[in-house]
Amino acid sequence: MIEGADPGYDWIFLHGISGLITKYGGANSHMSIRCSELGIAAAIGCGVEKYDELINFNFVEIDSISKSVKGIL
């Protein structure tokens, strides 16, 4: 989870991430496109309220099929 990401954050993909959640951004953002290219689940630009809720969980599940994100303690 990072608030926002630009092309300068490409290094994050070298660390074997299984998903990416950002507070800001959109479907056409660089990180959204990179996640799509690499087959990484992502919730890009989930908004302030949802991001601030999720940051408090130990684990977060991104369900690409139902297009949902939920926190898991």
Which position among 1, 2, 19, 30 bears the catalytic label? 30
State the amino acid at position 62 in one-letter form: I
Q: How many CB atoms lie within 10 A of CB 47?
A: 12
Q: What is the pLDDT of residue 6?
A: 86
User: What is this structure's pTM?
Assistant: 0.91
Q: What is the pLDDT of residue 73?
A: 86
Does residue 15 carry a catalytic annotation? no
Below-50 pLDDT ranges, the chain: none
Q: What is the pLDDT of residue 33?
A: 95
CA dihedral sign, ordered 58, 64, 69, 73: negative
